[in-house]
Structure 1
């Protein structure tokens, strides 16, 4: 748990762009070559289904996903997956605020940022027009393919949500379906509110799928219970295309477990902690802090 004090900053912080590209940074200790066209095509097809490689050189490889067709106002076309060539990486580009929320790699993050001086960036394109569930599965399949294509990768950083993982944790995961996106593409953050006993837990990353992030402002409850609740709610929202309406209630927590006996009211608000974005604020009843 970090003791560093951070300032709320919703005025000068650039807001998240809903539906923006899902961006993966693979970090390496040594330079790495772009895998061959045939190898990349075979591995990506194994994880994603039929693709067409429309460009491949040392700097860029691009693949059209023939089974994931995005529909636009003026037509339709396949979502695209892009892999960039290896470039230099500077770990000192991450500020203390971002690093404080890298919960999945706390012991290794400083070592990774010191030892890894190279990166390969991968993104999806035109995927924002896909249904949220389809895009989540596509991005998770793409991640699995990248983990196989780049065996010397040391760590994965997910820019949309600020999560950092050791590569071995990505390669060895046993998660199936869209919960893979929740695991790697959505970060549940935790903050103590200075000078009070209040805590704030929120998510970052759901807006990539045009879904709401979550926010809990509370006191008097084990924050680990709330983190678990947040991941469960995020999974539910993704699996059901966000059925939660403003003013509705959802199951809360009783004795550490999610229970229908406790109902918490939900409403859409502006986020209390940067980046600026709309969130689904969950009022935790007698544990709630602040005014709504």
Structure 2
């Protein structure tokens, strides 16, 4: 399991949030990307949009284009339906007021990848364009992951005025410049951009929690670590490593199996941490792969 080289240092915060598992995540659901804008913009020219989409996604057909909505059929990505083979559709909305889509404090607290710019971006960007995939639920998971990241890269080229990108499922946000200038390997893009590794202190205890959100888009498991007495940034790095392993290998991990743990911040085959599938402790409600960290583990376990 190779090291995932880039991750954001997770600092302890003093925000206090309540557990709320009333919202249930829907695996495989529509993937939504929000492009945040300072100024309201018009839908780009059809020919320009088509040219950029073809550059990043291959042969596409623009089947609708007006001030409110634009849609593309991506011809190389097709799925079988009752009506026969149909291409996946990628949709883009017109620019709207972001007041209708306020971001809660819980989500804001986990925007680690642009924490220094977060408040400025959210204050200055009063408009957004939303982009999503349709008819994509049944795609092979890596094919969908690659397509979504190609789409992301097309969007920031198509909208040069875009200030930042927000992924709805994971709550992860990047500046548009971070995306335009990235050097992330193609096979690592989905984990890096679309999956959020979150960090929480458990109030009134020395316990901490690292979990992930975003893998369910591809029907892969998110992770959960409930622990104490070890640097949380080591666990964040471990989570990115494990996510990459799961993504690269179509999740071969069964309940009761083990993964390499950590010694002095590095992966160590001589340390084995047991894995079990269980319900998430922190919202949204979903199934996760819980990592039991031996002497660092917190909370009761049946294993």
1:2 to 13, 33, 39: 13
1:183 aligns with 2:230: no
CA RMSD of aligned residues (A): 1.4
Rounded Cα–Cα distance in structure 2 between residues aligned with 1:288 and 1:72: 46
Secondary structure, in 3 states, of the residue corresponding to 2:253? coil
**8 A contact 1:92–1:113 mirrored in 2:** no
After TM superposition, the score normalised by the length of structure 2 is 0.93
Rounded Cα–Cα distance in structure 1 between residues aligned with 2:28 and 2:36: 24
1:18-33 correspondence runs (5 A): 18-33=27-42
Secondary structure, in 3 states, of the residue corresponding to 1:238? helix
Partner of 1:71: 80
Rounded Cα–Cα distance in structure 1 between residues aligned with 2:85 and 2:272: 42
Rounded Cα–Cα distance in structure 1 between residues aligned with 2:268 and 2:117: 36
Partner of 1:39: 48
Show structure 2 runs of 5+ residues with no match: 1-11
**8 A contact 1:66–1:78 mirrored in 2:** yes
Between the two proteins, the alignment pairs up a number of residues equal to 290
**8 A contact 1:140–1:178 mirrored in 2:** no
Change over 3 Å in CA distance of 1:112–1:91 after alignment to 2: farther
1:72 deviates by: 4.2
1:80-229 correspondence runs (5 A): 80-90=89-99, 93-229=102-238
1:260-275 correspondence runs (5 A): 260-275=269-284
Show structure 1 runs of 5+ residues with no match: none
Partner of 2:3: none
Secondary structure, in 3 states, of the residue corresponding to 1:107? helix
**8 A contact 1:91–1:113 mirrored in 2:** no
Give per-residue Cα distances to partners, 1:175-234, cap 9 Å, x unaligned: 122311111110000011111111110000001111111000111111101001111111
Could you list the structure 1 runs, at least 4 aligned residues long, displaced by more than 4 angstroms after superposition: none
1:95 deviates by: 1.6
Rounded Cα–Cα distance in structure 1 between residues aligned with 2:81 and 2:225: 35
Rounded Cα–Cα distance in structure 1 between residues aligned with 2:15 and 2:51: 46
After TM superposition, the score normalised by the length of structure 1 is 0.96
1:82 deviates by: 0.5
Change over 3 Å in CA distance of 1:91–1:61 after alignment to 2: closer
